[in-house]
Amino acid sequence: MTKTADEAWLKTVDDIKNWGQPVEPQKSTGAKGRVSFEILNHTLSFDMKWPVVTCKPNTSWLYMAAEPMWVLDGSANLNHFPEIYRIQLPYSDNGVTVYGAYGPRYKLQKQNVIDRLNNDINTRQAIMVLWRRNPPIMKDIACTTSLQWLVRNGEINTIVNMRSSDVGLGLPYDMLTFVCMTADIASKLTEPVELGKCYINAGSRHIYEDQWDGLNISEMQFNQYIYPAWSMWKWPAIQQTLKKMAAINTATLNRLDIQMEAFKWMMEISGGKTNPRDNDDKGSTTPSTTGDV
């Protein structure tokens, strides 16, 4: 059965709600001294043709576009896109860059991954490491340690390893970022491939205590949206639209209106119109909880 990003994320929320164990507050910037509920060594998977989590409350759709484009551009700079500055500033030690940003490591290693796949499309050596050896004590340390790409049966698959995965906030953004990294690499291959599966392994998969009540499974299932499948031939247009979204500055605009419009763009980014999942009588084609992290 095909599992969309929505379905994989909802299943992960449900796993932690059912099986998560309480963990005492961490000292990291992201944890902010909060208790979390955690599953160790957790794996999720989804079909990268449906990479957007549509049902998470309080999603910034501008940041959903900006984070993957920030990575693909190879940047660690806060001023690269307005929404990057707004979201990432608390994690910066110098107010200019973010130490754990994936962009520079991605840019440094991308060509090697492409070359290995072009040399041998069946290789098991197309690996990228985002973890920095012996990191100093900083506000932001990379959550993702490595990625591997495997082409099988005409599809490119992605295996991600994370030391830490915040399900209630960061995971949906991560899921799309990993798919965009995959599409970027796949677009440079000499042998045509389509998007396959993404597997994300996390040492710690967790939800923070203050996120718990806001993640209502039945309500979020109700708010899923259907959108057209992504395919590699659509990737150039998808990337162009994501770039335009990422560049939007809401300083002099109505933020809620822009977020609603950005949601519409995200849902229609691969062509066609979007509709609520299952039944037309479940509401309008605008999200009930578009907001802003």
Residue 265's contacts (CB-CB under 8 Å, 6 or more residues apart) are 61, 241, 245
Q: How confident is the model at residue 71 (pLDDT cuts 50, 70, 90)?
A: very high
Decide if 113 contacts 185 (C-beta within 8 A).
yes
pLDDT band per the 50, 70, 90 thresholds, residue 253: confident
Domains and their CATH numbers in the chain: 5-282 (3.30.572.10)
Q: Is 151 exposed, middle or buried (0-12, 13-18, 19+ CB in 10 A)?
A: buried
Cα–Cα dist 21/36, whole Å: 8
What pLDDT digit, counting tens, does each position of 86-122 carry? 999 999 999 999 999 999 999 999 999 999 999 999 9
Across 271-288, b (16+ Cβ under 10 Å) vs e yields eeebebbeeeeeeeeebe
Name 201's bridge partners: 43, 161
pTM of the entire predicted model: 0.93
Tokens of 193: 């491939």
Mean pLDDT in the chain? 92
**Exposed/middle/buried for 21, CB within 10 Å: 0-12, 13-18, 19+?**
exposed
